Structure 1
Amino acid sequence: MTYDRLLIDCRAATMVEGGAPYGSIDKAAVLIRDGEIAWIGPQADLPVDVKARQTDRLDGRWITPGLVDCHTHLVFGGNRADEFEMRLKGATYEEIARAGGGIVSSVNRTRGASPQELLDQALGRLAGLTRDGVTTVEIKSGYGLDRESELKMLRVAREVGRVGGVRVSTSYLGLHAVPAEHKASRELYVDIAIDEILPAACAEGLVDVVDAYCEPIAFSAEEVARLFEKARALGLPVKLHADQLSDGGGAALAARYGALSADHVEHTSEAGARAMGDAGVVAVLLPGAFTMLREKTPPPIEAFRRCGVAMAVASDCNPGTSPVASLQTCLTLACVQFRLTPEEALAGATRHAAKALGLQDRIGTLAAGKAADIAVWNIETPAELSYWIGKPLLDRAYLAGEPRV
């Protein structure tokens, strides 16, 4: 049988659980056919008569699964550098939000931007992620907050996947904030977001997952539950911004609805962690936002470990609280700020991040039958991916078995 591509003379951090650290294979080879990994193992076990249209010799470099950034707000208009200055002068996130800043201040710029402008800006941010070996990125709506603008954001997110050299998973985040025009009619906006915008986006094939922001400054557990019921009726999985600023029971709510993930989770209780573990909900750690907001309470890492909660790591790239376009930097921050091990951090940007998107059957590990999304690194050990800040480490990346330009 002839294969499309053969990778030889490499060391593989497969990130498959069990066995060697990082699921590593020394002196590995990979056979690729039809965009998938057909075989991976020790190069010495390759059949002698293997034929491939293209053979890439990697000169002893490490390969990993393409990294997965499972929580971003990559599509938005403008930036909020002014609020960054305000926070440094003492204003809190809550104070800025209650004064009309925060999420709502990005809405006008996003509404006013053309699809091409939003796409161009998003691709500029994506460039930072792809330089870090990201091959899959989740992109949320949530800066439109009306039907036209939310659909515009989601269409742009799909276009990012078509032209940006990455796989894209979209999340509908209509319950992100109450727009200014509905400050006096909050219930009406919730109705519109759940009963009008979400079905329209779903009918157009723009939604992979439904998300919400559950906090006292955002939406209540009851409002989120209504949204999740609608998502369930539409056959869509859910995830949740949970317990970022306080323990509002978001983790337990996510568990009750079998969410793919609960994200932020700095204030999640032991009971919440236990519920997540029992329901298989991934904890998505967002150390960029934690650092930029100068938070003091880290996520309950030990509780997550005790309860068997998979921990993903993501950039949370957004205009206000995490203007971070480097997933590798977030791996370092997850180790330094949250005390993850480098292996846990890399699992968080591969295997567990894929699970947080419901894509663990396609991406996140190097194994036969998985998509041939592969990052090739100029490193001596996988721990370097969490060790260096700012040093270019990526040699090349493959998406579905083809070199990404």
Structure 2
Amino acid sequence: MWDRLLTDCSVATMVPSGDDPLGIIRNAAIGIVDGKIVRIGPRTELAGMRARQTTALDGALVTPALIDCHTHLVFGGNRADEHAMRRAGATYQEIAEAGGGILSSVKATRAASEAQLLASAKRRLEALARSGASVVEVKSGYGLDTETELKMLRVAKALDGHAGVKIVPTLLALHAMPPDQDRKHYVEMVMKQTIPAVAEEGLATSVDAYCDDIAFTPAEVEAVFTAAAAHGLPVRLHAEQLSNQKGAALAARYKALSADHLEHLDAEGARAMGKAGTIAVLLPAAFYCLRDEKVPPVDLMRKHGVAMAVATDCNPGTSPTLSLPLVMNMATTLFGLTPEEAIMGTTLHAARALGLAHERGTVAAGKVADLCVWQVESIAELGYWIGLPGPDRRIVAGEDR
């Protein structure tokens, strides 16, 4: 006997079928045992199956639960003052040079206790959960020293399971240069101290870096990627956001799980990512907040077969965003993704960007029964409504949350 049977629904499985990229099954049913899907198909095929609990969903649309594959959820303070500076015309670089930007968050994060960081991050995580998330990636990167990076990652670990959300922790090893430090000495410290300490405690599942003209060079990133590989940690990269440093091609060369932002991606980088299977993570809320004018080359990515994920980039400075449905709308409106690409970007491709496609991101037998139930007439509505609060029902491991 199954634990639960969901009926009277349409299911966007995210498993392509024929000409349907979303693999939609009409008048479907889903069987769940021990928190996993055991059967998915037309309702007539599951007729007569017995379950301890049967839930009719009144014709709703079911998708995999959403996955936010790029956030900076743990941080101290906020940077609301920078919003006013930006509206007055200050650039990203000017704010950073005035003592704001990432270094402002570093100061507040270093000063905060683990309990303070956990309390504030929980509130943000609860908002993401209400928007439909069951998996959220959380980066460090506001420490810029080993002690604080470890503190942030311990907070991320403590968040795991809160609000029914699985946390995927990432060491953002190269984010910004600490003031008054030698670049070579700092990069060596990250390689020889921070990465080994994180690996020893098992606090991160991957290593990230920021490659840009205001951040770190390809050579510095490559050195850190080599150190990550030595400790068995896959890599990701903030690449081509404000300039083209050939970071996407570098990420692909190291078989990175993802390259993120990509407003300045070129054909060489797109081709390399397509061949390597590196996922492009698009972050339209950061584009919006920065009032950027350089749109990621979506057609180029389509041409080279680069799968596109969509994420909030939740952070205190350039993307104070806590809604996955909102960034789906932004991805369609600002970047030109189709509604189908937007929902694939927050489910299957987001799972791939985190190395979780074997267990999440599709509605299929054997996958974790993390689902969103939407009372909408078509999938297009998920990229259409501005401010859609989230699904009508969120199911995590087969249970309503």
Q: CA deviation at 1:98?
A: 2.7
Which residue is equivalent to 2:85? 86
Which residue is equivalent to 1:288? 285
1:73-152 pair list within 5 angstroms: 73-152=72-151
1:326-365 pair list within 5 angstroms: 326-365=323-362
CA–CA separation in structure 2 for the residues paired with 1:38 and 1:203: 36
* Alpha-carbon contact 2:136-2:168 (below 8 Å) kept: yes
Residue of 357, 369, 373 corresponding to 2:370: 373
CA–CA separation in structure 1 for the residues paired with 2:145 and 2:309: 30
The two structures have a TM-score, normalised by structure 2, of 0.98
Question: Partner amino acid for 2:268?
Answer: A
Question: SS state of the match for residue 22, structure 1?
Answer: coil
CA–CA separation in structure 1 for the residues paired with 2:390 and 2:257: 30
* Alpha-carbon contact 1:298-1:338 (below 8 Å) kept: yes
Q: CA deviation at 1:164?
A: 2.9
1:5-404 pair list within 5 angstroms: 5-19=4-18, 20-48=20-48, 50-180=49-179, 183-404=180-401
Q: Deviations over 1:102-159 (max 9, x none)?
A: 1111011111111121111111112221121111110000011112211111111111
Please tell me the root mean square deviation across aligned C-alpha atoms, in Å: 1.1
Question: Partner amino acid for 2:199?
Answer: C
Question: Partner amino acid for 1:254?
Answer: A
CA–CA separation in structure 2 for the residues paired with 1:157 and 1:184: 27
CA–CA separation in structure 2 for the residues paired with 1:391 and 1:358: 28
Give structure 1 regions of 4+ aligned residues with deviation exceeding 4 angstroms: none
The two structures have a TM-score, normalised by structure 1, of 0.97
Question: Partner amino acid for 1:311?
Answer: M
Q: Deviations over 1:34-78 (max 9, x none)?
A: 221111010100152x22122111111111000010000000011
Q: Deviations over 1:362-383 (max 9, x none)?
A: 1111011111111111211111
CA–CA separation in structure 2 for the residues paired with 1:207 and 1:262: 18
Q: CA deviation at 1:21?
A: 4.8
CA–CA separation in structure 2 for the residues paired with 1:103 and 1:154: 17
Q: CA deviation at 1:163?
A: 2.2
Question: Partner amino acid for 1:34?
Answer: D
Question: SS state of the match for residue 379, structure 2?
Answer: coil
Of 89-98 and 61-70, more deviation after overlay is shown by 89-98
Question: Partner amino acid for 2:46?
Answer: L
CA–CA separation in structure 2 for the residues paired with 1:392 and 1:275: 37
Q: CA deviation at 1:309?
A: 0.2
Q: Which runs of 5+ in 2 are unaligned?
A: none
CA–CA separation in structure 2 for the residues paired with 1:103 and 1:198: 20
* Alpha-carbon contact 2:263-2:297 (below 8 Å) kept: yes
Q: CA deviation at 1:402?
A: 1.8
CA–CA separation in structure 2 for the residues paired with 1:121 and 1:173: 20
Question: SS state of the match for residue 12, structure 1?
Answer: strand
* Alpha-carbon contact 1:373-1:398 (below 8 Å) kept: yes
Identity among equivalent positions (%) equals: 57
* Alpha-carbon contact 2:228-2:235 (below 8 Å) kept: yes
Q: CA deviation at 1:18?
A: 3.1
Q: CA deviation at 1:393?
A: 4.4
